[in-house]
Structure 1
Amino acid sequence: MPKILIVDDEPNIVTLISRYAQREGYDIVTAYDGREAIDKCKTEDFDVIIMDVMMPDTDGFTACKKIKGFKDIPVIMLSARGTEFDKLFGFEVGVDDYVTKPFSPMELIARIKVILSHSRIIEQKSESGKLCVSGIEVDTLGLTVTVDGEKADLTAKEYAILLLLVKNKGIVLTRDRILNEVWGYDSFGVDRTVDWQIKLLRSKLGAYRDSIKTVRGVGYKFEA
């Protein structure tokens, strides 16, 4: 049974999400501020964390960054602020998905299912071998990436995007296809999500950042 940690300082939001998540058979644990969430992650394992940004004591972004420092747990961030800056900052600290308040509980459940499904695929490690392009090596067994022999600190989403691009080297992939294959949905109002993640991914590829080419108005492709 998937175990979900719900973190929000508004009890009604916690209750609402818990009700819908329990209908799906998920095991629910709750916290009401970032510090409490960090403490619970130190003693318990979770499959997904749903966390609000604006909370007393320790905000969601700070809590996410600290949690990611000792456990790789997917985080869906909730926020009433939906600016590009907020979303980009969230991705930089390790947020896996971003939902703007007010939100549809069913949409949130759909995103949880996508993350759980993606996690199961990664755990199966069905791929074998290594993909090498120029100085970039993608290890599909170890789920790691090295750039000129040095390990690149990629998030799960960045790894999935790079693997998809490298596997389709020279082929233009639309934003919709990347969203569908990496996130598991076509839109949900996050048309800039792929662009933000590509920007962060490029910053971690060093001298090979330009291997990811932008095809204006369409999407991206990988070229050696």
Structure 2
Amino acid sequence: MTPRVFLCENNETFAQMLTFYLEKEGWDVTIFSNDASSLLNVADCPNLWILDADGEEWVNIMRKIQKKSTQIPIILTSEHEKTINRVWGFELGCADFIVKPFMPKELVFRARKILNRCELGSASELTEVARLQGYHLDLQRRIVLLDKLPVDLTSKEFELLCLFSRHKGIALSREQILKSVWGENYFGSDRVVDDLVRRVRRKLTDLEIDTVYGYGYRIVS
């Protein structure tokens, strides 16, 4: 199945250049204006969003995207390279953050890694359905069920649960979680891990996650 990529980019010329390189990969690319109102009538869901994080609208756009589906990965691009911007983007749930200027081939490389990771579900060692305490992880549909009812999770939250499922009873460092959930290209504070675990605990109240102080976290087996 051909991956579908939705692209929001402020610079029209740059958007056309990125589209050229993305389509060379055989991907189906659709360009949208970087305006939250332009997404109101978008009914379809792509395999990947690439969103320009410059300007005032990107946070609203990102939230509208996540409202339609929390499982679709989002790559943010920005001219601002401050660490706080990266951290903010990752805390909002982006899959990657690329600082401009960058070569289009770098974006293609990162997009390919994310699409491959999503296709494999970052859970290739698991069967199609995994059990984590009282929760069921449907790896094919990338949803979590409790008493046959779905729990609304972001892509990062789901990835964390997959990681815990593969390492029941084992203490995982923040660095290990960062590398598995955010990928090797993440640059920023490991405190985003704490925020992610906090959100998972709030949404999955029956899930027992131990804090290993000064190190990381462990799922109760």
TM-score between both structures, scaled by the size of structure 2: 0.75
Give the counterpart letter for 2:74 in structure 1: V
Residue aligned with 1:6, SS: strand
Aligned residues between the structures: 216
Alpha-carbon distance, 1:114 to partner = 1.9
Q: Which residue of 2 aligns with 1:23?
A: 24
d(CA) in 2 for partners of 1:21 and 1:119?
17
Q: Give runs of aligned pairs for residues 5-154 of structure 1, distance below 5 A.
A: 5-35=6-36, 37-39=38-40, 41-42=42-43, 44-55=44-55, 59-71=57-69, 72-82=71-81, 86-87=85-86, 89-91=88-90, 93-122=92-121, 127-133=127-133, 136-140=134-138, 143-145=142-144, 151-154=150-153
- Higher-RCO chain (CA-CA 8 Å, sequence separation at least 6): 2
Q: How much has 1:38 moved relative to structure 2?
A: 1.0
Q: Is the 8 A contact 2:169 2:219 kept in 1?
A: yes
Q: Is the 8 A contact 2:6 2:49 kept in 1?
A: yes
Check if 1:221 corresponds to 2:197: no
Structure richer in helix, relative to its length: 1
Q: CA deviation at 1:168?
A: 0.8
Provide structure 1 residue ranges, at least 5 long, that are not aligned to the other structure: none
**Alpha-carbon displacement from aligned partner over 1:50-91 (angstroms, at most 9, x marks no partner):** 0112346xx122112112222453211223345565445545
SS of match in other structure, 2:170? coil
1:154 Cα offset (Å): 1.3
Which is worse superposed, 190-199 or 103-112?
190-199
Q: Is the 8 A contact 1:46 1:73 kept in 2?
A: yes
> Equivalent residue of 1:41, what SS?
coil
How has the CA–CA distance of structure 1 residues 173 and 123 changed in structure 2, closer, same or farther, with 3 Å as cutoff?
closer
1:41 deviation in Å?
2.9
In structure 2, relative to structure 1, the CA distance for the partners of 1:112 and 1:215 (3 Å cut) is: farther
Q: Following the alignment from structure 1 to structure 2, what is the Cα–Cα distance between the partners of residues 37 and 110? A: 28
Between 1:122-131 and 1:102-111, the stretch displaced more is: 122-131
Name stretches of at least 5 consecutive residues in structure 2 with no aligned partner.
Answer: none
Give the equivalent residue in structure 2 for 1:178.
177
Query: d(CA) in 1 for partners of 2:172 and 2:123?
Result: 25
Identity across matched positions, percent: 25
| Structure 1 pair 181–107 and aligned structure 2 pair: CA distance change class (3 A) | same
Local SS of the residue matching 1:4:
strand
Judged with a 3 Å threshold, the aligned counterparts in structure 2 of structure 1 residues 94 and 22 are, in CA distance, closer, same or farther, namely same
Which has the higher mean CA deviation after the structures are superposed, 117-126 or 17-26? Answer: 117-126
Note the aligned Cα RMSD (angstroms): 3.5
TM-score, normalised to structure 1's length? 0.74
Instruction: Check the 8 A contact 2:78/2:100 in 1, yes or no.
Output: yes
Evaluate the alpha carbon distance shift between residue 55 and residue 162 of structure 1 in structure 2; reply closer, same or farther with a 3 A threshold: same
**Is this contact kept in 2: 1:14–1:30, CA < 8 A?**
yes
